[in-house]
Amino acid sequence: MDIKVNSIKFKIDGKLESFIREKVEKLNTHYDNILSSDVMLKVENNGIENKVAEVKLMIKGNDLYAKKQCKTFEEAVDTATEALRKQLIKHKTKLKKK
């Protein structure tokens, strides 16, 4: 799977990028037809929970999307990938019913 990690107005370190790649690649265990993914990181100027992670998965026939805002990027990516895991399971269930 092709994973693109983008950050707006800051540079991410290698440790964070490898964490993101690891989390997104784990989604392949739930659905093996993921074509690619885009991860967007940004910092918003409102309060303590200002780290935003947007994760978009491109799968055949659909795109799945999750956006989470937390105190750290790791937490935001973790919750976003968990939301996508649930979406993938739901999508896979719909395909089996057809």
Alpha helix locations (H) across 45-97? 73-97
Q: Domain count of the chain?
A: 1
Q: What is the pLDDT of residues 47-86, one digit of tens each?
A: 888 999 999 999 988 899 999 999 999 999 999 999 999 9
CATH code for position 74: 3.30.160.100
- pTM of this prediction? 0.91
**pLDDT band (50, 70, 90) for residue 88:** very high
> pLDDT tens for residues 2-44?
999 999 989 999 999 999 999 999 999 988 889 999 999 999 9
pLDDT for 94: 87
Question: In a 10 Å sphere around its CB, with 0-12 CB exposed, 13-18 middle and 19+ buried, how is residue 7 labelled?
Answer: middle
CA distance 31 to 76: 21
| The pLDDT of residue 11 | 93
Domain that holds residue 45: 2-97
